[in-house]
Structure 1
Amino acid sequence: MSRVSLEGQVAVVTGGARGVGELLARKLSARGAKVALLGLEPELLKEVSGRLHTESDWWHVDVTDHEAMARVAGEVKERFGKVDVVVANAGVAAGGPFADSDPVAWRRVIEVNLIGGAVTGRAFLPVLTESRGYFLQIASLAAITPAPMMSAYCASKSGVEAFAHSLRAEVGHKGVGVGVGYLSWTDTDMVRGADQDDVMRELRQRLPWPSNRTYPLGPAVDRIVAGIERRSAHVYAQWWLRGMQSVRGYLPGVIATVGRREMRRFEPRLSGVRTGLVGAGGAADEQERTESDRATTA
């Protein structure tokens, strides 16, 4: 598939303050795209926007708030005149045994990753239809293979994969492209935050190669940019993820067998696993909700 030049196009990136979103914004800008950054950390968003090569702006918004996202979509169009690309990248994660998980954190993973992706799609679909643009939903290896201790994250990423596939079938006749981006463990605040827990880190290290590695951020984002330029239906941030599609039907049974053994091995230590959101992005989300609750009760 031929590549489409990003010069002069307008790209929206959620979760743009750090990690994949921040570097993606920089690389899209370097290719000539104007960038709208959306997220929860206004100071970081402003800083990232100020470093971009092209015209850019930022919006402080919770991707799970459908009214706020609809308003922001209108403001982005008013600011730039159009929207050509939307990347639903915002996400959080929590780990640990489901039975002992924090129900609020577990639910929040679903809300941000799955509902937030759908809210983003709903808000920007009208302007993408006008431009015959492209919507990229960031999923994960977790959408392809289940994993113990990651029930919320796997459920959310399986959900956004299904959402994006469904949306593609609905809007393709209108000229809107929809893609799913798959990433394995990539060097971000989220992954580093998960690795701070000894059990989660050791469990990941015991995964089979190549899924037990942490991959550098730069090459992963380069592949995402190339997928955007091609308006790809599937974007693989690590080369081997494409091959996982052909064996995904066998993976639940394999994981169940291996997981039983590993859970037995780690069971004496499971009570110490942190159950809240992980990483700096998770902390930002928790702070945002705390401040919102205080404002509501004031």
Structure 2
Amino acid sequence: MRTSPLKNRTVVVTGAARGLGAALASEIAARGARVALLGHEKELLDDLATRLPTPALALETDVTDVTDLLALREAADRTRRTLGRPSAVVANAGVADGGPFTATDPAEWRRVIDVNLTGSAQTARAFLPDLEATAGYHLQIASLAALGAAPLMSAYCASKAGVEAFAHSLRAEVASRGVAVGIAYLNWTDTDMIRDADRYTVLRELRGHMPGPARRVHGADRIAARIVDGLERRRTAVYAPPWLRLVQPVRAALPPVVLRAARRDLSRLEAEGSLEPTGLLGAGGEADRLAERRAR
């Protein structure tokens, strides 16, 4: 087997306690890299760190919240001293909620933006000195939601469109310093966030009305392997699954299609009383809620 370019390097993964983040950490370690694991749930992080085949550092983000730049800089320093300077950072931490914009808790709506967009920017800001020193790679986890916004997930769609624009801008700024920046576009992935979303009629219907390939849920391990393939190659864009690249040339045509479907379906769901806000989704969302509460 070929030797991975990640072998004996240090990689940082945010949102690593569960779901896609944990799958990414496992895949990265399997290719020989040391992994710094940032996340809210200490027991899960510690357990994952002990199971990885390479040295790992668990950094609980009750202390290192991705919206807290000072805490992230401390995490960067601990990573540097314990595992060595990172050669790659995967900005994966994210939360989501669902429901009509006007019915959503404004503080919760803002939290989705803060974690997904501001947290990604703060992650880049904290680790860029290391990436410049190693001519490294910053990979931003985005979503199909960055390519085509959907109703009932306004905060999530806005945040993922925002991180896409941020990554494009950052790439142009740091290219002359030897740092590469990539964007990973994902479809529905089998995590506790998506499983929780399917409990709610409003989000189950949203996915159910998408075209066949777009509504399929993909295993986290398979998606992680695809993303890490892109990580090894320092790709500008990673599509998981690969067919998502076909959406790029037609993304300008998506809003009118979504609008027609929304006019047809949302009034029916409203009449059925199905348009209730979901709150932050999944165990990861609950962990973020508890961590934010403790930080106050």
In the superposition, the TM-score normalised over structure 2's length comes to: 0.96
Which position in structure 1 is the counterpart of 2:160? 157
Partner of 2:84: 81
Distance of 1:260 and 1:245 partners within structure 2: 24
Structure 1 residue 267, shift from structure 2 partner: 1.3
Note the C-alpha offset of 1:4.
5.9
SS at match of 1:148: coil
The aligned residue for residue 23 of structure 1 is: 23
Per the alignment, residue 182 of structure 1 pairs with 185
Q: Which amino acid aligns with 1:41?
A: E
Residue matched to 2:93 = 90
1:198 shift after superposition: 2.1
| Secondary structure in 2 matching 1:6 | coil
Q: How does 1:1-298 map to 2 (within 5 A)?
A: 5-60=5-60, 61-270=64-273, 273-293=276-296
Matched-pair contact (CA < 8 Å) for 2:124–2:138: yes
SS in 2 for 1:38: strand
Aligned equivalents of 2:260, 2:157: Cα separation in 1: 18
Long gaps (5+) in structure 2? none
Per-residue deviation, 1:270: 4.5
AA at the equivalent of 1:231: R
Measure, in 1, the Cα distance between the counterparts of 2:116 and 2:255: 22
Work out the percentage of aligned pairs sharing the same amino acid: 53
Distance in 2 between residues matched to 1:151 and 1:125, nearest whole Å: 29
CA contact (8 A) 2:100 2:277 kept: no
**Alignment check: 8 A CA contact 1:4 1:230 kept:** no
Residue 214 of structure 2: SS of its match in structure 1?
coil
RMSD: 1.4
TM-score where L is the length of structure 1: 0.95
Structure 1 residue runs of 4 or more that deviate by more than 6 Å after TM superposition: none
Q: Secondary structure at the match of 1:63?
A: coil
- Contact in 2 for aligned 1:10/1:85 (Cα 8 Å): yes
Deviations 1:250-281 (A, max 9, x none): 11121112211111221123465233101010
Gaps of 5+ in 1: 294-298
The residue that corresponds to 1:296 in the other structure is none
Q: Aligned partner of 2:107: which letter? A: V
